[in-house]
Structure 1
Amino acid sequence: MARAASRTLVGMWTRIPSSSLRVTGADRVDFVHGQMTNNLRAAPTPGLVPCAFLNVRGQIEQFARAYKRDQDVYLHLDAGQAQSLAARLRRYIIFDQVEVHDVSDELRTVHLWPGAALPGWQADGGDAQTFELAGSTVLAGRVNRTGAAGVDLHYLARHEAAVLATLPGAEVPLTELDAARVQGGIPDITRDALTGTLPQEVGLDLSGPLPAISYRKGCYVGQEIMARLEARGNARYHLARLNGPGRWEAGAEITADGKVVGQAGLHAGPGSVARIRKELPDGAAVQVAGQPATVALIRTHA
């Protein structure tokens, strides 16, 4: 990553494959708050809250970043996720005054790496900011995709050429961003094939690299499982890194002594992040899809 790190000084940015929803109506904040793992009500306006949407077993169905704004709640998701989340949200609309709009085709997102100077972005400002750029209104959020906070920039697709022309530095491919986030121990729930897992197992707990849970908010789908895990602290897996020279697909089985001990994320750069059994020590030798790798534990914030 030496080459990438040096280029950060002059600015780098990467296009993020995305989908997105807008939730409008008088009950929008309470409605979305009641579906997600984090505390949207407590966020400022404008504000930004990472969160997950769970099934009744407490397993992740979607990961999103929720932007709380004056007129809507904007949910930024990985590519291909908006349609299923929209269907889920609409099933729960009973008497709520809300509407769910899929705006995936209308919006685009780029991530400006740490150190890139985005015109209009206030580095000492809030986590979510709206400002004028290239003659249009854009939304930006402070987001950690590499191990340090950069900026996600959301803008209308029809303004893409003008917006991109204002960005500092050089565009770098998603493969470089993936390599940086693996090095930083940051999961990407969809790209790493981590849906269907518990948030505490993949770095979304309060001490993890991507905290997206509040244990003090009201009920939501899967909340009972989250409360049990908080009380007992007995998740059997956690997020770690795998280092290895081979390449493997996201979701590949990890084995040790012939037993399955976890699953690997997308291989990029030095290896991948992984959901792996807690009893495996730092430096443990494992096999991923028949290829050798070693476990590197990720420092938590607790």
Structure 2
Amino acid sequence: MWTRIPSSALRLTGADRVDFVQGQMTNHLKAAPTPGMVPCAFLNVRGQVEFFARAYKRADDVYLHLAEGDAPALAARLRRYIIFDQVDVQDVTEQLGTAHVWPGAALPGWDAAGADVQSFELGGGTVLAARVNRVGAVGVDVHYLRAHEAAVLAALGEEVPGAALERARLEAGVPDVPADEWRGVLPQEVGLDFAISYRKGCYVGQEIMARLEARGNTRYRLARLTGEGLPAHADVTDAAGKVVGRTGASTGAVTLARLRKEFADGADVQVGGVSARVEDLTPAQPG
């Protein structure tokens, strides 16, 4: 039971690769094991999200797994910061594919009692796999060479359409920056606290993150809205018509929203003229 994950990817090599990307991302890659993975964001100078990624630290490279279409823009950004660093940034989107194996589904070669990141033989080639929460429970992302795609996917069993995974994601409260169109907002406002280390060294936007940790004064939070016919990517308004938030993707009955904190569990709001009820939410950490 698996679902294709449309995505893009960068591979960083060179002696300074870990130090270099550590200075760009919000999480603590240097503290991860080898192999290991940390979720992270790349921010602008105002502390707002530009990209969300999963950074894999391996013996010979750093692999950045990104949303579909993100790799060229992030590669251009990273290259602007390379001065004396011994690092090479390569877009490997065309060579690699990704599938998510749903929680509890069989995955030949995966050690359920083993490390969070593993490599093993599957479908005639070596795959890279990691525990990732995409639907409210932990499944496994499998990254494979496209040359082996047919054999790898055949070994995974039944394919589940992407729409089913997206519905499960929203019902579980798992944020997704590109799908929910939350670029340009503070990560804490949309449930991305898990992707930030407040104890690592400097990175772009780090000063803003430190201020937010000290003051805890973001005005928005991630909430779930329920109703009938809820539109995606629409303004959320209060009874007086004042805009108090914005929805992300939607199933029609459930949507996630970046919402003003004063609207607590049970509050009534409007989304594009449709009534909705606010549900407090402990965001599932995608990992």
Same fold (TM over 0.5): yes
Name the residue aligned to 2:208. 225
Cα drift, residue 124 of structure 1: 1.5
**In structure 1, C-alpha distance between the alignment counterparts of 2:5 and 2:262, rounded to whole Å:** 35
> Which shifted more, 92-101 or 176-185?
176-185
Contact 2:104 2:139 in 1 (8 A): yes
Q: TM-score, normalised by structure 1?
A: 0.92
One-letter identity of the residue aligned with 1:271: V
Secondary structure of residue in 2 paired with 1:26: coil
Cα drift, residue 149 of structure 1: 0.6
Name the residue aligned to 2:219. 236
**In structure 2, C-alpha distance between the alignment counterparts of 1:197 and 1:112, rounded to whole Å:** 30
Which 5+ residue runs of structure 1 have no aligned equivalent?
Answer: 1-11, 206-210
Q: Does 1:252 align with 2:234?
A: yes
Query: Which residue, out of 131, 136, 146, partners 2:120?
Result: 131
**In structure 2, C-alpha distance between the alignment counterparts of 1:260 and 1:182, rounded to whole Å:** 22
Cα drift, residue 268 of structure 1: 2.1
Name the residue aligned to 1:89. 78
**1:142-291 residue pairs with structure 2 within 5 A?**
142-168=131-157, 170-205=158-193, 211-249=194-232, 251-257=233-239, 258-268=241-251, 270-291=253-274
Q: TM-score, normalised by structure 2?
A: 0.96
Cα deviations across residues 217-270 of structure 1 (Å, max 9, x unaligned)?
Answer: 000000000000000000111111111210413x31111121111110101263
Contact 1:147 1:181 in 2 (8 A): yes
Secondary structure of residue in 2 paired with 1:171: coil
One-letter identity of the residue aligned with 2:196: I
Name the residue aligned to 2:108. 119
**In structure 1, C-alpha distance between the alignment counterparts of 2:189 and 2:281, rounded to whole Å:** 12
Runs of 4+ in 1 over 2 A off after TM superposition: none
Query: Which residue, out of 270, 278, 281, partners 1:295?
Result: 278
Cα drift, residue 74 of structure 1: 0.3
**In structure 2, C-alpha distance between the alignment counterparts of 1:157 and 1:259, rounded to whole Å:** 49
Cα deviations across residues 67-91 of structure 1 (Å, max 9, x unaligned)?
Answer: 0001100000110111110000000
**In structure 1, C-alpha distance between the alignment counterparts of 2:256 and 2:118, rounded to whole Å:** 30
**In structure 2, C-alpha distance between the alignment counterparts of 1:300 and 1:100, rounded to whole Å:** 32
**In structure 2, C-alpha distance between the alignment counterparts of 1:107 and 1:289, rounded to whole Å:** 39
Secondary structure of residue in 2 paired with 1:266: strand
Secondary structure of residue in 2 paired with 1:66: strand
**In structure 2, C-alpha distance between the alignment counterparts of 1:160 and 1:131, rounded to whole Å:** 15
**In structure 1, C-alpha distance between the alignment counterparts of 2:253 and 2:117, rounded to whole Å:** 32
User: Once the two structures are aligned, what percentage of the paired residues are identical?
Assistant: 68
Secondary structure of residue in 1 paired with 2:30: coil
**In structure 1, C-alpha distance between the alignment counterparts of 2:226 and 2:6, rounded to whole Å:** 25
> Which shifted more, 40-49 or 129-138?
129-138
Contact 1:255 1:286 in 2 (8 A): yes
> Which shifted more, 263-272 or 111-120?
263-272
